[in-house]
Amino acid sequence: MSDTLQIAGKGKEQHTYDAIVIGSGISGGWAAKELCDQGFSTLVLERGKDVVHLKDYPTATMPLWEFPHHGRIPEAEKSANPVLSRCYAYSEASQHFFVKDNEHPYVQEKPFDWIRGYQVGGKSLLWARQTQRWSRFEFEAPARDGFAVDWPIRYSDLAPWYSHVEKFAGISGNKDGLETLPDGEFLPPWEMNCVEKEIQQKIMHHFPDRSVIQGRCAHLTKPNEIHIQQGRGSCQARNMCERGCPFGGYFSSNSSTLPWAQKTGNLSLRPNSVVHSIIYDEQKQKAVGVRVIDANTHTATEYFARIIFVNASCLNSNLVLLNSTSSRFPNGLGNDNGLLGKYIAFHNYRGKITASYDGPDDKYYYGRRPTQVMMPNFRNVHKQDMDFLRGYMVHYSAGRGRAGADGIGAAFKEAITEAGEWSIFMMMQGETIPKESNHVRLSKDKQDAWGIPLLVTSVGYDENDDKVVKDFLEQGSLMLEKAGCTNINQQDSGQAPGLDIHEMGGIRMGKDLATSMLNEHNQLHHCKNVFVTDGACMVSTGTQNPSLTYMAITARAANFAVAEMKKGNL
């Protein structure tokens, strides 16, 4: 730590807890909930402002006409925030939950759109809420296909923890019986509309090896008792989720895990706390606490605990460990092998397809469903059968906009109440292969407002990614053509990595100390009382949305940590 930092505090004993959790987003909230449930005093450090469920959702019920710009971001704001403005959820109604480009800058060695939400709850207020389990194929793939390193766990290790978090969070979906996408503990599913069902049937008729199912999402269609105990209610299908949900209809740290932890009396929550580094004790040979800089006053404070969970979100977790240097770990905490910050991966969202469909004019659909139809990966599943590694998940939806009309007055208003033609949107979610060259590191000469080195991102696509996009565009177009769609248009958006908001890796798990940072319980190999359970711990990305896996991994690691503390091993 810099000699210029002034340490403020009430004394070590008043700043000591059983556990410290860095970050209050999806994984941090779960760590706090599990640790507090087990009776352990837990301090959650959040670098952003406090956001209290119900109280701090200022735009949650505002109609668009009450916003100065009807929900749109003014051009001046877009120009000032070129990275953030590319995010689908950024609008006048949600802008207060996003980090502006100049609020926490970083150095892009290659184009990378880093989307962040610094507040209690983190991006759990902003996520797209799509939740699928990994299958055995994802955990086995690196060892089988020869990329990355072997996962130290398998699906069977995580299956009970998937069930554990699904029951509490509330996941809607069908029991589909697919080996490639295991079933979970589901609430009633959302329904496909009539055109989506027609396309589903036609695709599965022409492509029997491809399953088309209703999407699974973290929305309460029919709350169970555990959700009512959390104070949550049914999803209202409003499509205003990124404003914060006053009904608690979707899972967030704010509506679920953090209030639950608070009720135990074991939670201490400290917002506006920028984590500088983790304190390593050379004599005890373990981490003993965390250095924090107040976001507003810039005063520094130290907090102490027996165990530390790092859940700052993937890239910030890498940043924290990289900045946690000592005589024992001059290159970052636990970084004996030099791999900290390396093998960053993400999801490839570049491929998009639009089409028209001659659907029924007399049918429509209810509400704004919070999930799409999806197709589990069908490439390189059982064996390597393509000239690229891994594959992609497909999502699609069908909808009807307003009918087109010209003019003004009553005739115009009457005309636009009619529904327009049916249109189709299809997208890919492709797995990218972790590479050592895709990495983050600390800047040697630039610091942020809190005296912490800026993060340098050096992450890009490769030939494998291009081949995956090409295959999706070809196969997606073929499937839509066979389903009877017309006006099929392909697009490679060329968007930079990061805009998927699924960054993973840098502190990956593994069996071998030479090729990984964490063991099978998410402990740093060389500092066993530090756990990393957010996206940074991932060995590979799979094609599924990752948040459910973060939740399950976190719950598993937290319960392991509790057991080890009770045994006196931590």
pLDDT per position as a tens digit, 440-458: 999 999 999 999 999 999 9
What's the pLDDT band for 6 if we cut at 50, 70, 90?
Answer: very low
3-state SS string for 386-411: CCCCCCEEEEEEEEEEECCCCCCHHH
pLDDT at 11: 61
pLDDT at 367 over 90: no
Average pLDDT over residues 326-338: 98
Tell me the pLDDT tens digit for each residue of 49-90.
Answer: 999 999 999 999 999 999 999 999 999 999 999 999 999 999
Q: Which of 549, 444, 522, 445 is nearest to 155 (CA)?
A: 549
Percent of the chain surpassing pLDDT 90 = 93
pLDDT at 459 over 80: yes
Tell me the pLDDT tens digit for each residue of 532-546.
Answer: 999 999 999 999 999
pLDDT at 34 over 60: yes
Backbone φ, ψ for residue 551 (5° rounding): -60, -50
Q: Which residue has the tokens 């000592």?
A: 326
Average pLDDT over residues 277-290: 97
pLDDT at 415 over 90: no
pLDDT at 9 over 70: no
pLDDT at 5: 47
What's the pLDDT band for 2 if we cut at 50, 70, 90?
Answer: very low
Average pLDDT over residues 394-406: 87
Average pLDDT over residues 506-522: 98
Average pLDDT over residues 154-165: 98
Who's near 201: CB < 8 A, 6+ residues apart?
none
Average pLDDT over residues 25-49: 98
DSSP labels for 427-481?
Answer: EEEEE----TTSEEEEEEEEE-TTSPEEEEEE----HHHHHHHHHHHHHHHHHHH
pLDDT at 300 over 80: yes
Tell me the pLDDT tens digit for each residue of 462-477.
Answer: 999 999 999 999 999 9
Average pLDDT over residues 547-557: 98
pLDDT at 4 over 60: no
Average pLDDT over residues 218-243: 97
pLDDT at 1: 38
Residue 345 near residue 539 (C-beta atoms within 8 A): no
Q: How far is CA 148 from the centre of its chain?
A: 21
pLDDT at 188 over 90: yes
Residue ranges of E strands in 295-391: 300-310, 342-345, 347-348, 351-357, 373-375
Total residues found in the chain within this entry: 570
Average pLDDT over residues 357-363: 93
Average pLDDT over residues 39-56: 98
Q: What is the mean pLDDT of the chain?
A: 96
Question: Where on the phi/psi map is residue 60: left (φ > 0), alpha (ψ -120 to 50), or beta?
Answer: alpha
Residue 276 near residue 291 (C-beta atoms within 8 A): yes
Question: Where on the phi/psi map is residue 325: left (φ > 0), alpha (ψ -120 to 50), or beta?
Answer: beta
CA distance 433 to 524: 23
